[in-house]
Structure 1
């Protein structure tokens, strides 16, 4: 088992070396790729997450950036990012998906997905941010998600080693003979099942190795709400938001003032009612006690 694990590790190392040599050849043969690589080295990467692949071996990363800029500039920036990937060559960058959509609200949403050499992913993102800022856009969101694929590959190798050892044991049992048809059929079925599991494990390891070798990168482009010919900000939307805020502020003030004054108003009304009642009682009493004056509340004598 130890020999097989060592062989698996050596195979992974050879795969990494072969990929590195192919990239070196591609960079040497393409002057344009060298120029882009030099420009990447000069780019300011402070705005992008500084995650190095050497610091996280065996981890598959997914990068995602969201850019906010004017509608009429999204398609141009999207083309610039695609052209930058094409300049690097398919050995270092590949475009896997492009989408551009105009919503019912006349706002643009777009996305471009790439597969990148892990060594240039961060610098490629920094260059993209610089191009967006040059077009008066902003980086609205950036995220890096990682998955520990290397550990799963090692576990898969261990499972495969166990399956191979079990297959060898079952085949040795078949060679020993002395089995009836039912026992022989059961052993063959177990061997077939184990070989199928070996195939699945090999495919899983290939997929994991591919994920480590290529980083997934998604550029999302969203509208800043501007109107072509007016500016990057929508004056009607701004006016509507201001109106809503002022209306809410006025309503909040009225409700707060009412809550403060209502108890005092009720108290004042009760005091006035009590005072008026006492005043009317006093007036009636004075009129009744005055000579020659009848009580206005009593009926006249017949």
Structure 2
């Protein structure tokens, strides 16, 4: 009986060990896509999503193009690319980013799908920043201000149609112009607030690197050491390439002078007459 129980427990442990790598692999494939808002909408909130991705430098351009293509597939009405940059440092480090304006109804899903696509290409999620600003109240206040300015302007225009002194008419015209500007500004501010609710900024920041964890930090340190060594050798070669030809030319001139120049100079100058000091004057 004991032997049978021992066999059963051993089989259970083997089965558990065999399943563990599968779950680990699934987690590695799916990856961490960052915090999830749970699909809950917040009326009147203007959100923004920013994702930081770390990946091998050679994959950054492809992932950036994948995200840009995904935005284009949504169509201009739901996604617009607003900024893109790609920089390669002398050390070989690559930094890039992609900024888009996405319809609020699909912005969160678009961002998470973009992270998953990057993780399939070997990227690691370095960070997520989700910002939210309450703008509905301000939009309502701006709309109310525009309505009040329009109502007041109608009263001023009614006064202008009555007989008024020249001074009063000038003041009413000035007031009418001021109210028209106030109404335009309030309507523009309200439209901007409503647009910020309907359209969400989404950005991806790409950085070349090995990823997170101690092992990757050690690998990045090795990469940095190799890059530093390469930079030092390049600097030495640059100095040799810049100063080498002048030094070789100077050395050649010295050899020519010592080999032939001194003898030629002595022949040209000729032998010098011995120096004879002047005779002393006679003493009388």
Question: What range is the shorter-chain TM-score in?
Answer: 0.5 to 0.7
Tell me the number of residue pairs that the alignment of Structure 1 and Structure 2 aligns: 193
Residue 241 (structure 2) aligns with: none
Answer whether contact 2:86 2:94 (CA < 8 A) is retained.
yes
Verify: 1:128 aligned to 2:96, yes or no: no
Once the two structures are superposed, residues 143-174 of structure 1 have per-residue CA deviations (whole angstroms, 9 ceiling, x without a partner) of 11112221111000111122122212222322
Residue 200 (structure 1) aligns with: 185
Residue 89 (structure 1) aligns with: 75
Residue 202 (structure 2) aligns with: 217
**Aligned mates of 1:58, 1:208 — CA distance in 2:** 9
Aligned to 2:92, the other structure's residue is in SS state coil
CA 1:205–1:126 in 2, change beyond 3 Å: closer, same or farther?
A: same
Deviation, 1:182, is 0.9
- Out of 53, 57, 61, the position equivalent to 2:47 is 61
**Aligned mates of 2:31, 2:136 — CA distance in 1:** 27
- Out of 152, 155, 160, the position equivalent to 1:166 is 152
Stretches of structure 1 that go unaligned for 5 or more consecutive residues are 1-43, 241-302
Two-structure CA RMSD over aligned residues (Å) = 2.7
Equivalent runs, 1:67-86 vs 2, <5 Å: 67-86=53-72
**Aligned mates of 2:122, 2:32 — CA distance in 1:** 18
Answer whether contact 2:48 2:201 (CA < 8 A) is retained.
yes
**Aligned mates of 1:199, 1:56 — CA distance in 2:** 28
Once the two structures are superposed, residues 168-210 of structure 1 have per-residue CA deviations (whole angstroms, 9 ceiling, x without a partner) of 2222322332x21111100110011100111112222222222
**Aligned mates of 2:150, 2:95 — CA distance in 1:** 51
**Aligned mates of 1:73, 1:128 — CA distance in 2:** 14
- Out of 172, 175, 183, the position equivalent to 2:168 is 183
CA 1:46–1:67 in 2, change beyond 3 Å: closer, same or farther?
A: closer
TM-score (norm 1): 0.58
Stretches of structure 2 that go unaligned for 5 or more consecutive residues are 1-29, 227-284
CA 1:76–1:183 in 2, change beyond 3 Å: closer, same or farther?
A: same
Deviation, 1:98, is 1.4
Equivalent runs, 1:95-134 vs 2, <5 Å: 95-134=81-120
Range with bigger deviation, 48-57 or 70-79: 48-57
Aligned to 2:180, the other structure's residue is in SS state helix
Equivalent runs, 1:148-297 vs 2, <5 Å: 148-177=134-163, 179-224=164-209, 233-234=219-220, 236=222
CA 1:77–1:147 in 2, change beyond 3 Å: closer, same or farther?
A: same
TM-score (norm 2): 0.61
